[in-house]
Amino acid sequence: MNWNAPINSWWRSHVTLRTLYLLFLGQLVSFTLALMSFTSSLIADLGVDAPVTQSAFAYFSLALVYGGVLLYRRQRLRVAWYWYLLLGFVDVQGNFLVNKAYQFSSITSVTLLDCCTIAWAIVLTWLFLGTRYSLWQLLGAALCVLGLGLVLLSDAGGDGGGGSRPLLGDVLVIAGTIFFATSNVGEEFFVKKKDRVEVVCMIGVYGLLVSAVQLSILELKSLESVEWSTNIVSNLLLNNL
Protein backbone atom coordinates (compact mmCIF):
# COMPACT_ATOMS: atom_id res chain seq x y z
CA MET A 1 0.00 0.00 0.00
CA ASN A 2 1.33 3.44 -0.96
CA TRP A 3 1.12 5.63 2.15
CA ASN A 4 2.51 8.64 0.30
CA ALA A 5 -0.48 8.90 -2.04
CA PRO A 6 -2.97 10.44 0.44
CA ILE A 7 -0.26 12.73 1.82
CA ASN A 8 0.65 13.93 -1.67
CA SER A 9 -3.02 14.42 -2.50
CA TRP A 10 -3.61 16.51 0.62
CA TRP A 11 -0.46 18.53 -0.04
CA ARG A 12 -1.47 19.34 -3.63
CA SER A 13 -5.02 20.31 -2.63
CA HIS A 14 -4.12 22.49 0.38
CA VAL A 15 -0.64 23.90 -0.24
CA THR A 16 -1.31 26.30 -3.11
CA LEU A 17 0.20 29.64 -4.07
CA ARG A 18 -2.78 31.37 -2.50
CA THR A 19 -2.26 29.48 0.77
CA LEU A 20 1.43 30.38 0.82
CA TYR A 21 0.59 33.99 0.02
CA LEU A 22 -1.89 34.16 2.91
CA LEU A 23 0.67 32.50 5.19
CA PHE A 24 3.23 35.12 4.17
CA LEU A 25 0.78 37.95 4.89
CA GLY A 26 0.02 36.44 8.30
CA GLN A 27 3.70 36.29 9.17
CA LEU A 28 4.16 39.86 7.96
CA VAL A 29 1.35 41.02 10.25
CA SER A 30 2.87 39.02 13.13
CA PHE A 31 6.25 40.66 12.58
CA THR A 32 4.65 44.11 12.51
CA LEU A 33 2.75 43.43 15.74
CA ALA A 34 5.95 42.18 17.38
CA LEU A 35 7.73 45.36 16.30
CA MET A 36 4.90 47.47 17.71
CA SER A 37 5.08 45.57 21.01
CA PHE A 38 8.83 46.15 21.17
CA THR A 39 8.50 49.90 20.54
CA SER A 40 5.65 50.18 23.09
CA SER A 41 7.84 48.52 25.71
CA LEU A 42 10.77 50.74 24.79
CA ILE A 43 8.63 53.88 25.00
CA ALA A 44 7.53 52.81 28.49
CA ASP A 45 11.16 52.19 29.48
CA LEU A 46 12.02 55.72 28.30
CA GLY A 47 9.56 57.07 30.85
CA VAL A 48 6.86 58.21 28.40
CA ASP A 49 3.32 57.51 29.63
CA ALA A 50 1.20 58.25 26.54
CA PRO A 51 -0.81 55.15 25.60
CA VAL A 52 -3.41 57.05 23.54
CA THR A 53 -0.82 59.05 21.63
CA GLN A 54 0.97 55.85 20.66
CA SER A 55 -1.95 54.73 18.48
CA ALA A 56 -3.34 58.10 17.35
CA PHE A 57 -1.14 58.34 14.27
CA ALA A 58 -2.31 54.89 13.13
CA TYR A 59 -5.92 56.11 13.11
CA PHE A 60 -4.82 59.25 11.27
CA SER A 61 -3.10 57.13 8.60
CA LEU A 62 -6.18 54.93 8.11
CA ALA A 63 -8.45 57.97 7.83
CA LEU A 64 -6.10 59.68 5.38
CA VAL A 65 -5.50 56.75 3.02
CA TYR A 66 -8.90 55.09 3.02
CA GLY A 67 -10.72 58.41 3.37
CA GLY A 68 -9.13 59.51 0.11
CA VAL A 69 -10.43 56.38 -1.60
CA LEU A 70 -13.89 56.89 -0.12
CA LEU A 71 -14.02 60.53 -1.26
CA TYR A 72 -12.92 59.50 -4.75
CA ARG A 73 -15.83 57.05 -4.92
CA ARG A 74 -18.29 59.75 -3.81
CA GLN A 75 -20.50 57.18 -2.11
CA ARG A 76 -22.75 57.59 0.88
CA LEU A 77 -22.13 55.70 4.08
CA ARG A 78 -23.78 52.30 4.16
CA VAL A 79 -23.65 52.06 7.96
CA ALA A 80 -24.98 54.67 10.40
CA TRP A 81 -22.24 56.92 11.82
CA TYR A 82 -22.99 56.07 15.45
CA TRP A 83 -22.01 52.42 14.88
CA TYR A 84 -18.62 53.57 13.62
CA LEU A 85 -18.30 55.91 16.59
CA LEU A 86 -18.97 52.98 18.91
CA LEU A 87 -16.42 50.77 17.10
CA GLY A 88 -13.87 53.57 17.14
CA PHE A 89 -14.38 54.12 20.88
CA VAL A 90 -14.05 50.41 21.66
CA ASP A 91 -10.92 50.05 19.53
CA VAL A 92 -9.24 53.06 21.14
CA GLN A 93 -9.92 51.69 24.63
CA GLY A 94 -8.34 48.38 23.64
CA ASN A 95 -5.19 50.13 22.43
CA PHE A 96 -5.16 52.37 25.50
CA LEU A 97 -5.34 49.50 27.99
CA VAL A 98 -2.77 47.32 26.23
CA ASN A 99 -0.32 50.20 25.73
CA LYS A 100 -0.85 51.23 29.37
CA ALA A 101 0.02 47.69 30.48
CA TYR A 102 3.61 48.14 29.28
CA GLN A 103 4.07 50.63 32.13
CA PHE A 104 3.57 47.81 34.65
CA SER A 105 4.36 44.45 33.03
CA SER A 106 7.00 42.89 30.80
CA ILE A 107 6.80 42.75 27.02
CA THR A 108 6.66 38.93 27.17
CA SER A 109 3.60 38.84 29.42
CA VAL A 110 1.79 41.59 27.49
CA THR A 111 2.44 39.98 24.11
CA LEU A 112 1.34 36.52 25.26
CA LEU A 113 -1.77 37.69 27.09
CA ASP A 114 -2.75 39.81 24.10
CA CYS A 115 -3.64 36.49 22.46
CA CYS A 116 -6.68 36.35 24.76
CA THR A 117 -8.32 38.35 21.97
CA ILE A 118 -8.71 35.07 20.04
CA ALA A 119 -10.63 33.38 22.86
CA TRP A 120 -12.95 36.36 23.34
CA ALA A 121 -13.48 36.60 19.57
CA ILE A 122 -14.52 32.93 19.44
CA VAL A 123 -17.09 33.50 22.17
CA LEU A 124 -18.47 36.71 20.60
CA THR A 125 -18.67 35.34 17.04
CA TRP A 126 -20.45 32.25 18.37
CA LEU A 127 -22.95 34.36 20.33
CA PHE A 128 -23.63 37.19 17.87
CA LEU A 129 -22.58 36.02 14.39
CA GLY A 130 -23.65 32.40 14.69
CA THR A 131 -20.20 31.06 13.80
CA ARG A 132 -19.77 27.37 14.62
CA TYR A 133 -16.42 25.85 15.53
CA SER A 134 -15.26 22.26 15.42
CA LEU A 135 -14.28 20.36 18.55
CA TRP A 136 -10.61 20.49 17.54
CA GLN A 137 -10.75 24.28 17.18
CA LEU A 138 -12.31 24.63 20.62
CA LEU A 139 -9.76 22.26 22.17
CA GLY A 140 -6.93 24.23 20.58
CA ALA A 141 -8.36 27.50 21.94
CA ALA A 142 -8.80 25.94 25.39
CA LEU A 143 -5.17 24.77 25.37
CA CYS A 144 -4.01 28.29 24.49
CA VAL A 145 -6.14 29.79 27.28
CA LEU A 146 -4.62 27.30 29.72
CA GLY A 147 -1.16 28.47 28.71
CA LEU A 148 -2.18 32.11 29.17
CA GLY A 149 -3.49 31.20 32.62
CA LEU A 150 -0.04 29.91 33.52
CA VAL A 151 1.45 33.25 32.45
CA LEU A 152 -1.01 35.02 34.75
CA LEU A 153 -0.14 32.72 37.66
CA SER A 154 3.56 33.28 37.03
CA ASP A 155 3.14 37.06 37.24
CA ALA A 156 0.90 36.75 40.30
CA GLY A 157 3.71 34.82 42.00
CA GLY A 158 6.21 37.55 41.22
CA ASP A 159 8.13 35.56 38.58
CA GLY A 160 6.88 37.48 35.56
CA GLY A 161 10.33 38.51 34.41
CA GLY A 162 10.00 42.27 34.78
CA GLY A 163 7.65 45.14 35.42
CA SER A 164 6.83 47.18 38.51
CA ARG A 165 3.32 45.71 38.98
CA PRO A 166 3.03 42.74 36.61
CA LEU A 167 -0.35 41.50 37.84
CA LEU A 168 -1.94 44.93 37.25
CA GLY A 169 -0.39 44.99 33.79
CA ASP A 170 -1.82 41.55 33.04
CA VAL A 171 -5.31 42.63 34.13
CA LEU A 172 -5.08 45.69 31.87
CA VAL A 173 -4.08 43.51 28.91
CA ILE A 174 -6.93 41.06 29.46
CA ALA A 175 -9.40 43.95 29.73
CA GLY A 176 -7.93 45.41 26.55
CA THR A 177 -8.36 42.13 24.68
CA ILE A 178 -12.11 42.18 25.46
CA PHE A 179 -12.32 45.57 23.72
CA PHE A 180 -10.15 44.33 20.85
CA ALA A 181 -12.31 41.24 20.35
CA THR A 182 -15.50 43.33 20.38
CA SER A 183 -14.02 45.71 17.84
CA ASN A 184 -12.76 42.89 15.62
CA VAL A 185 -16.10 41.09 15.62
CA GLY A 186 -17.93 44.31 14.79
CA GLU A 187 -15.50 45.05 11.98
CA GLU A 188 -15.88 41.51 10.62
CA PHE A 189 -19.65 41.85 10.57
CA PHE A 190 -19.64 45.18 8.71
CA VAL A 191 -16.83 44.21 6.31
CA LYS A 192 -18.70 41.08 5.23
CA LYS A 193 -22.08 42.79 4.98
CA LYS A 194 -21.10 46.25 3.70
CA ASP A 195 -17.82 47.72 2.39
CA ARG A 196 -14.26 47.13 3.59
CA VAL A 197 -12.88 50.53 2.56
CA GLU A 198 -15.71 52.38 4.31
CA VAL A 199 -15.30 50.37 7.52
CA VAL A 200 -11.53 50.88 7.74
CA CYS A 201 -11.85 54.57 6.89
CA MET A 202 -14.52 55.22 9.51
CA ILE A 203 -12.60 53.29 12.17
CA GLY A 204 -9.69 55.62 11.41
CA VAL A 205 -11.84 58.78 11.47
CA TYR A 206 -13.73 58.04 14.66
CA GLY A 207 -10.73 56.37 16.29
CA LEU A 208 -8.76 59.57 15.68
CA LEU A 209 -11.64 61.69 17.02
CA VAL A 210 -11.96 59.62 20.20
CA SER A 211 -8.17 59.59 20.61
CA ALA A 212 -8.00 63.39 20.34
CA VAL A 213 -10.68 63.87 23.02
CA GLN A 214 -9.21 61.24 25.34
CA LEU A 215 -5.68 62.54 24.80
CA SER A 216 -6.70 66.10 25.69
CA ILE A 217 -8.26 64.86 28.94
CA LEU A 218 -5.74 62.27 30.10
CA GLU A 219 -2.36 62.90 28.49
CA LEU A 220 -1.73 66.61 27.90
CA LYS A 221 0.21 67.09 31.15
CA SER A 222 2.15 63.89 30.57
CA LEU A 223 3.11 64.98 27.05
CA GLU A 224 4.13 68.44 28.25
CA SER A 225 6.49 66.90 30.80
CA VAL A 226 8.25 64.66 28.26
CA GLU A 227 11.76 65.64 27.23
CA TRP A 228 11.37 64.91 23.52
CA SER A 229 14.23 63.34 21.62
CA THR A 230 14.79 61.69 18.26
CA ASN A 231 14.70 58.28 19.96
CA ILE A 232 11.26 58.86 21.47
CA VAL A 233 9.76 60.31 18.27
CA SER A 234 11.12 57.50 16.09
CA ASN A 235 9.71 54.86 18.44
CA LEU A 236 6.32 56.58 18.47
CA LEU A 237 6.26 56.52 14.66
CA LEU A 238 7.34 52.86 14.52
CA ASN A 239 4.60 52.03 17.02
CA ASN A 240 2.03 53.37 14.54
CA LEU A 241 3.04 51.20 11.61
Note whether residue 217 is domain-resident. yes
50 occurs within a structural domain? no
Say if residues 164 and 45 touch (Cβ distance below 8 Å). Answer: no
Q: Is residue 97 a part of any domain in this protein?
A: yes
Instruction: Report if residue 28 sits inside a domain.
Output: no
Confidence of residue 39 (pLDDT cuts 50, 70, 90): confident
Residue 44 covered by a domain: no
Rounded to whole angstroms, the Cα distance separating 211 from 215 reads 6
As a whole number of angstroms, the longest Cα–Cα distance in the chain is: 74
pLDDT score of 129: 83
Q: Tell me the mean pLDDT in the region 165-182.
A: 91
Note the pLDDT of residue 177.
Answer: 94
At residue 98, the pLDDT reads 92
pLDDT digits (tens, 9 = 90+) for 188-234: 899 888 888 999 999 999 999 999 999 888 887 877 776 666 655 66
In a domain, 188, yes or no: yes
Q: In the chain, helix, strand, coil percent, each to 5? A: 80, 0, 20
Outline where 46-134 has alpha helix (H).
51-73, 81-101, 107-113, 116-124
Q: Which three-class secondary structure state does DSSP give residue 76?
A: coil
Instruction: Report yes or no on 115 lying in a domain.
Output: yes
The tens digit of pLDDT for each residue in 106-153 reads 888 888 888 888 889 999 998 888 888 888 888 888 888 888 787 777
User: Tell me, what's the pLDDT at 150?
Assistant: 79
Examine residue 178 and state whether it is found in any structural domain, yes or no: yes
Predicted confidence (pLDDT) at residue 241 exceeds the cutoff of 60:
no
pTM of the predicted protein model: 0.82
Q: What Å distances lie between residue 46 and 144, 231, 241, CA to CA?
A: 32, 9, 19
Write the pLDDT tens digit of every residue in 42-98: 777 777 778 888 888 889 989 999 999 988 888 888 888 999 999 999 999 999 999
In this structure, the number of other CB atoms found within 10 A of the CB of residue 106 comes to: 19
Residue 131 belongs to domain spanning:
65-239
Give the chain's domain count: 1
